[in-house]
Amino acid sequence: MIWNTNLRWRLPVVCLLLEVALIALFGVFVRYDVDADPHWVEEKVIRNLSTDMENEFYYRYPSFQDVHVMIFVGFGFLMTFLQRYGYSSVGFNFLLAAFGIQWALLMQGWLHSFDGRYILVNVENLINADFCVGSVCVAFGAVLGKVSPVQLLIMTLFQVTLFSMNEYILLNLLEVKDSGGSMTIHAFGAYFGLTVAWILYRPNLHHSKERESSTYHSDLFAMIGTLFLWMYWPSFNSAISNHGDAQHRAAINTYCSLAACVLTSVALSSALHGKGKLDMVHIQNATLAGGVGLGTVAELMILPFGSLIVGFICGIVSTLGFVYLTPFLESRLRIQDTCGVHNLHGIPGIIGGIAGAVTASIANIDLYGEEGLAYAFGIERSKLNWSPNMQGRFQAAGLFVSLATALVGGIIVGVILRLPFWGQAPDENCFEDAVYWEIPKEPKSTACIEDSSLKPQEP
């Protein structure tokens, strides 16, 4: 096989073509929602609003910025743990996310914000575009170090498309609750990525093994990613919840779940090591599983102790996954999951989907109040024969649909990415920035320059 990793024309052409196409489509389709349009002055009169504070911007912009940080710094730096792949982790994540959010604005816009002629965008569209790209970042974790940026752009193009369709089926047809995306973002992203990694199996990857580990400082860079994901996850799970109590509750629940998850991740990490030592991989990843697990249920009445239980379980399962499941996936199923997304997003996403189905099916008027229940599940809108039990079953159906879409989509996209002309590196050169990046020469000596080496100063 010919490995030509020189992307001189392929990468520029793909980037420029995609961007030109995006500009054309934006020109035809994308306009401002009334909350972001100068006609807002008139809208306030129509809706009898006395204050600009009612603009959607003020309800959601702080959460949007937190989510934005998660996508670019959170996911980007989380993946810098590899010793020689920091540029690519941060840089390719930056590239695919920047492309993905534009394409997601269009895809999700056509399906959710289309007024017949235009896609009307406001801050909620920005959040949803970031969410959609979040699922691509998850999938990126599974193929990290083994694909070229051209392959990543193609994967993003397809995955955003599939994500939007799957999301449409879940939210609009099945009318499922999934505000933090346990199913649509995490489970979908993880199993999509794992399927792609399975198709792209590299039999000789052991030649790159010495680079598939961390160094002391690369692990600290990764902790920047971990902490920003962990801290802002309450914003992630509450960003598009209903105004008022739902957003508020989603933040509290996620905060609780994540805190519990840290303790069980640490406990298992120590218990599973021969000398009781902690493993950075678990601290960087498993501690976040509690956020994934709350993605469906955060805005529902799971109660704080319910959130703690979900976090408790996710931390344990995720750490166990890193120790036992990842090696098994690689040796038996030929799935090389670089970042262990199966443990951080896959299983916790499924747990989250199940928790959502259970919590929805036990919803009742005692817990929510009559109006509260109607508002939380949007019942007054359409669903005359709604029952909690039915909602629970639709939630479960949503999980299966997401998994099926991920598997089928992942196979198709994986086969496309196997084509030999996307600039991928040979197995020997995986996990190596020098393939696609100009790397600075290391200075001759890393020793500090002593005063004596400075030019003597005249008195």
Residue 263 in contact with a copy of itself, rule: CB under 8 A: yes
CB of 111 to a copy of itself, least distance (A): 18
**Alpha carbon distance 298, 292 (integer Å):** 10
What single-letter DSSP state applies at residue 8?
A: T
Say if CB 419 and CB 376 are below 8 A apart. no
Q: Which of residues 422-451 bind a copy of itself (CB under 8 A)?
A: 426, 428-429, 432, 434-443, 446-451
Which CB, 72 or 198, lies closer to a copy of itself?
72
- Interface region with a copy of itself, contact rule CB under 8 A, candidates 31-39, 335-343, 385-393, 399-407: 31-39
Instruction: For residue 208, give the nearest of 455, 451, 430 by alpha carbon.
Output: 430
Instruction: For residue 340, give the nearest of 145, 50, 138, 82 by alpha carbon.
Output: 138
Q: Is 458 exposed, middle or buried (0-12, 13-18, 19+ CB in 10 A)?
A: exposed
CB of 440 to a copy of itself, least distance (A): 5
Q: Which of residues 138-177 bind a copy of itself (CB under 8 A)?
A: 149
CB of 314 to a copy of itself, least distance (A): 12
What single-letter DSSP state applies at residue 80?
A: G
Instruction: For residue 285, give the nearest of 88, 79, 66, 76 by alpha carbon.
Output: 79
Write each residue from 3 to 22 as x if it is in contact with a copy of itself (CB under 8 A), else as -, in one continuous string: xxxxxxxxxxx-xx-xx--x
Angle of the 149-168 helix axis to the 123-143 helix axis, nearest 10: 130
Which CB, 31 or 418, lies closer to a copy of itself?
31
Which CB, 332 or 447, lies closer to a copy of itself?
447
Q: Which of residues 323-382 bind a copy of itself (CB under 8 A)?
A: 367-369, 371-373, 375-376
- Interface region with a copy of itself, contact rule CB under 8 A, candidates 170-178, 215-223, 336-344, 409-417: 215-223
CB of 74 to a copy of itself, least distance (A): 10
Take residue 355 and report the two structure tokens written for it. 């928790």
CA atoms within 13 A on the CB side of 77: 20
- Interface region with a copy of itself, contact rule CB under 8 A, candidates 84-92, 171-179, 381-389, 390-398: 84-92
Which CB, 13 or 333, lies closer to a copy of itself?
13
**Alpha carbon distance 125, 101 (integer Å):** 10
Residue 287 in contact with a copy of itself, rule: CB under 8 A: yes
Give the 3-state secondary structure of residue 77: helix
Which CB, 79 or 399, lies closer to a copy of itself?
79
CB of 18 to a copy of itself, least distance (A): 7
Amino acid occupying residue 25: L
Amino acid occupying residue 146: K
CB of 375 to a copy of itself, least distance (A): 6
CB of 371 to a copy of itself, least distance (A): 4
- Interface region with a copy of itself, contact rule CB under 8 A, candidates 45-53, 186-194, 324-332, 352-360: 45-53
Give the 3-state secondary structure of residue 283: helix
Q: Which of residues 221-250 bind a copy of itself (CB under 8 A)?
A: 221, 223-224, 227-228, 230-232, 234-235, 243-249
| Sole binder of a copy of itself in the list 167, 175, 212, 219 (CB under 8 A) | 219
Say if CB 238 and CB 300 are below 8 A apart. no
**Alpha carbon distance 65, 53 (integer Å):** 18
| Sole binder of a copy of itself in the list 108, 122, 184, 338 (CB under 8 A) | 122
Residue 72 in contact with a copy of itself, rule: CB under 8 A: yes
Say if CB 35 and CB 57 are below 8 A apart. yes
- Interface region with a copy of itself, contact rule CB under 8 A, candidates 92-100, 166-174, 325-333, 394-402: 92-100
CB of 96 to a copy of itself, least distance (A): 10
Q: Which of residues 296-325 bind a copy of itself (CB under 8 A)?
A: 301, 303-305, 308-309, 312
Say if CB 321 and CB 347 are below 8 A apart. yes
344-362 burial: b if 16+ Cβ within 10 Å, else e: bbbbbbbbbbbbbbbbbbe
Residue 121 in contact with a copy of itself, rule: CB under 8 A: yes
Give the 3-state secondary structure of residue 200: coil
The DSSP bridge partners found for residue 30 are 119
| Sole binder of a copy of itself in the list 78, 83, 139, 292 (CB under 8 A) | 83
Residue 251 in contact with a copy of itself, rule: CB under 8 A: yes
Which H/E stretch holds residue 309? Answer: helix 303-320
| Sole binder of a copy of itself in the list 78, 79, 99, 396 (CB under 8 A) | 99
Q: Which residues contact 46 (CB under 8 A, 6 or more apart)?
A: none
